[in-house]
Structure 1
Amino acid sequence: MRTPSRPRRRAAAGLTAAALLLAACSARTTDPDSSSGDVSTATTVTMRVWDQAAATAYAESFDALTASHPRVRVKIEVVPRGDYDARAAEDLAAGTMTDVFWADPALTAEQAAADRLVDIDKALGDEKAGWEPTVTGLFATDGTLWGVPQQWQAVALFYDAAHTGPAGVDPTRLTWAPGGGEDDGLAGAARALTADGAGRHPGDPGFDASAAATFAINAGPDLLDVVAPFLAANGVRLVADGRFAFASPEGEEAVQYLVDLVRTGAAPLAGEDGALDLFRQGRLALLQASSADLPAVAERAGDLRVAPMVAGPQGRAGVVDAVAAVGNVQSKHRDAVQTVLEWLGTAEGQAALASRGLGVPAAVGAQDAYVKRWERRGVDVRPMLTAAREPTLALPAGPHAGAGTGAVEQVLARVFRGELPVGEGLREAQEAGNAALDDR
């Protein structure tokens, strides 16, 4: 994806469960047109993913593929996310990689540069017309498309109306402004939604910012889910010409605003996992997080809603991440691989993923199934889908994108803890991120 992948969002199940899944897939991918049950003439295409739930959905999808293409079967394997990229690089170099596999934009760019991926433009022609354009672009380098986008995620603002309603806060209309002022509706919401153990709010006599019982919004050093959207809302580009470029006066204003939320007690000094836990406990009113967190968020929220991002002086920009299915150019089953890739690019091929609400389908024709799935759970996710159709924030790409983002976040953590002034910290974070991007 145009961005590094975060393992928490794509956690795979244990190896025992993966083994059981493989057995189930093998049992169900027989040739339905063979009266004798002999599948010796069928071609088996192997596919690797890092998510157990997605593998289960793909098993259903590939049953439908085999029904229409009885000479093509697909065997799925699951590799845990933490080991995925390293295993992929090793197996591709050794010639033992699966025929098709999941990749984020960073892994796609790395393996495309090594000439190990199928050229999707040549293989599928005009099929990409039915895919979300912004998401599709995440898997293209130098004008060539290397992946069939499967599902995407965007940063969203989640809230529980049972908490925001009584406080008189409408999260769908929130704005922020550097230094506060008339356009800073978030500041007022932060006061109303934050309280210490005695029920006092920021600005009340005796309010204890170090002992907040409820927080307004998460505002930690998570670069992609928290910091980047605020930078974009203040007219700051996170990346320019492939380099981090956020250390500017406007960048300082955006980060200072977030740091002030933490220092005044309106936001917890917690990472993304901690913020998610606080939201699910009812102690965090607004959660700015990836749409990939929706299944976990929905488990406990009483009246879960989705709002557009908080707008800043320059409005808002979508922050979009994605996963694609890529073809191994070394595969001995070129025709069958092409059939599988074509299937994975259709609304029908992505329907099983969509109906489980695992991620927004990249095939536009499958997105209604995703919306309806969450409607049945009482959640209107349509505000989330607009992220891919708004101006999209450019994020780090290439083989070292993950390392670059990690380096930036390490320095930002020191800024939020008060160990570095904002301006100095941003410059140091930018330098550290670019050094990581340059690492060979």
Structure 2
Amino acid sequence: MTRKLLSLAAILGASALTLAGCAGSPESSGASDTSGTTLTLRMWDETVAKSYEKSISAFEAENPEINVDINIVPWTDYWTKLRQDVATKKADDLFMVNASSYSAYVDSGNLLDIGTTLGVNAKNAWEPSVVDQYTRNDKLWAVPQLYDAGIAVYYNADLLAAAEVNPEELNDLTWSPDVEKDTYLPLAKKLTRDAAGVPVDVEGFDGTPVQYGTSLSNDGQAIILPFTGSNGGTFQDGDDFNFANAQTTESVKYLVDAINTSKVAPPAAETNASGDYARDAFLEGRLATFQSGVYNLKNVSEGAAFKWGVAMLPAGPEGRVSVTNGVALAGNANADKDSQPAIKKLLAWFGSTEGATFIGAEGSHIPAVTEAQKSFFDYWKKENVDVDPFFDVIKDNKTIPAFTGPKFESGAAAYKPIFDQIFAGQIEVRDGLKKAQDAGNAALAG
């Protein structure tokens, strides 16, 4: 790693670097320009961080009095460490937040008001859906950075060809609790094979799939929310959970039966244990289709040793309904007073076309700065990858809200073990969802 990429281990292992997490502290490397301001920026994604490092280099060239270090904290530790550091006033000067976490920091007075900091019209340059996600009490609390667009379906063209399936067929699939209207499950069965290549619904299938047709699993963003929305269901009412409703129950039962009865998707024991299991199985050629977001484009592009492409999300009884999401950059309201002008400059830079273009230039993500998105599309056009399905699915604004709420993480931690049981077929869907909803809402109230 370069000077700007600080590992969590290094920060925990050296008191000087811990102090660097406080706004305005000097660089631990003993750089000669100790009269300038050093800011730290916390994020969890090392791939995206590489693009940010290039952007920071350009920012520092224009602002030589400001040094910026990136502090990478892995996703598994990110939220726990951030809560601890914000509470003890040791958080970085700027830090990445997601829609399900930021509101807690708003309510506790730890984030800069972006309208006051950069002006009320600054938001006009950013993706409206991401602006909406980070608006609370009629104020914007973070600068939109990464835009997920919608959910789509990656496919292994070689496995589809072996099953005599044209990729175009994926764009016309419909899932439905009514078997007479369901075209999704029959195709998934055709793509699910045993070691001898026999499809799951053909006589002679040995009962043990080695190739699965689909990635259906206990994946909130990529699977549960789109299936819920496309059946007219809901997951939350405001900050509260309400997923025990009839439509959501019907959607989850479809998913659970596809995994445990039809066996067209990997066992829940595997996918519950690792959120990356389906992606890895797809890259290893054990999964014919993989429903996910643009956040996995780079992973698939670099890891797939087969022909692949992207198709549309399957439609449900209410049509195609996707979640759309975004990541934003928050300014620490409790950072050193002398560093606030530099924080303002850096927030403005990352909210500008010039500063955000670096994010999309290598295809790692879509900038939430709308004028900077061209760099993302140009990259994938050169790679001959059609990314339209991620955007076509949300063109008519048929979306289901992303997870939200100041205590969402606590609620999710309470309901997740029950969801794991539901998807493993260990508990009946209707009773399980009611139990999970009660547990989640109790955690929100606690």
TM-score, reference length from structure 1: 0.86
The Cα offsets for residues 317-357 of structure 1, whole Å up to 9 and x where unpaired, read as 22233221111112222222111111111121112221122
Post-superposition shift, 1:71? 3.3
Q: Is the 8 A contact 2:101 2:407 kept in 1?
A: no
Please show how residues 8-407 of structure 1 align to structure 2 within 5 Å.
15=9, 39=33, 42-125=36-119, 126-153=121-148, 154-166=150-162, 167-169=164-166, 170-181=169-180, 183-208=181-206, 210-262=207-259, 263-269=261-267, 270-271=270-271, 272-298=275-301, 299-331=303-335, 332=337, 333-386=339-392, 389=395, 390-407=397-414
CA contact (8 A) 1:179 1:257 kept: no
Partner of 1:6: none
- Distance (Å, rounded) in 1 between the aligned partners of 2:85 and 2:246: 45
Once the two structures are superposed, what CA deviation does each residue of 1:341-377 show, in whole Å capped at 9, x if it has no partner?
Answer: 1111112111222112222211111222112223333
Inter-partner Cα distance in structure 1 for 2:141 and 2:194: 51
Residue 384 of structure 1: CA displacement? 1.4
Aligned to 2:343, the other structure's residue is in SS state helix
Opposite residue 95 of structure 1, the aligned amino acid is K
Change in Cα spacing, 1:64 to 1:388, as seen in structure 2 (3 Å) is: farther
Q: 1:201 to 1:87 in 2, by over 3 A?
A: closer
CA distance change for structure 1 residues 363 and 71 in 2, over 3 Å: closer, same or farther?
same
Structure 1: distance between partners of 2:144 and 2:331? 12
Matched with 1:30 is: none
The one-letter code of the counterpart of 1:347 is T
Provide structure 2 residue ranges, at least 5 long, that are not aligned to the other structure. Answer: 1-5, 21-30
Cα separation, partners in 2 of 1:436 and 1:165, compared to 1, 3 Å: farther
Change in CA separation of 1:85 and 1:226 when aligned onto 2, cut-off 3 Å: same
Residue 212 of structure 1: SS of its match in structure 2?
coil
Unaligned runs of 5+ in 1: 1-11, 27-36
TM-score using structure 2 length = 0.85
1:151: Cα distance to partner?
0.7
Measured in 2, the distance between the counterparts of 1:51 and 1:13 equals: 12
Structure 2 CA distance for partners of 1:42 and 1:385, relative to 1, 3 Å: farther
- Tell me which amino acid in the other structure corresponds to 2:144: P
Query: For 1:426, which of 400, 421, 433 is the aligned residue?
Result: 433
Distance in 1 between the 2:84 and 2:177 partners?
A: 47
Q: Is the 8 A contact 1:244 1:396 kept in 2?
A: no
Q: 1:89 to 1:426 in 2, by over 3 A?
A: closer
Alignment CA distance shift 1:302-1:85 (3 Å): same
| Contact 1:279 1:286 survives alignment (8 Å) | yes
Deviation at 1:245, TM superposition (A): 1.5
| C-alpha contact (below 8 Å) 2:225/2:322 kept by paired residues | no
2:46, 2:72 within 8 Å by CA — same for their partners in 1?
Answer: yes
1:236-278, Cα deviation, whole Å (9 max, x unpaired): 0111132221222222221222122111121111313221222
Return closer, same or farther for 1:195/1:69 CA change in 2, 3 Å cut-off.
same
Q: Which amino acid aligns with 2:51?
A: A
- Contact 1:415–1:422 (CA<8 Å) still a contact in 2? yes
Alignment CA distance shift 1:165-1:366 (3 Å): farther
* Number of residue pairs aligned between Structure 1 and Structure 2: 412
Q: Which amino acid aligns with 1:239?
A: Q
Looking at structure 2, the residues matched to 168 and 380 of structure 1 have their Cα atoms a distance apart, in angstroms, of: 19
Q: Following the alignment from structure 2 to structure 1, what is the Cα–Cα distance between the partners of residues 174 and 306?
A: 25
Distance 1:388 1:135 in 2: 13
Indicate how the Cα distance of structure 1 residues 101 and 416 shifts in structure 2: closer, same or farther if over 3 A, else same.
closer
In structure 2, relative to structure 1, the CA distance for the partners of 1:324 and 1:115 (3 Å cut) is same
Say whether the 8 Å CA contact 2:93–2:343 is kept in structure 1.
Answer: yes
* Structure 1 contact 43–336 (Cα < 8 Å) conserved: yes
Instruction: Please tell me whether the aligned partners of residues 222 and 291 of structure 2 are also in contact (alpha carbons under 8 angstroms).
Output: yes
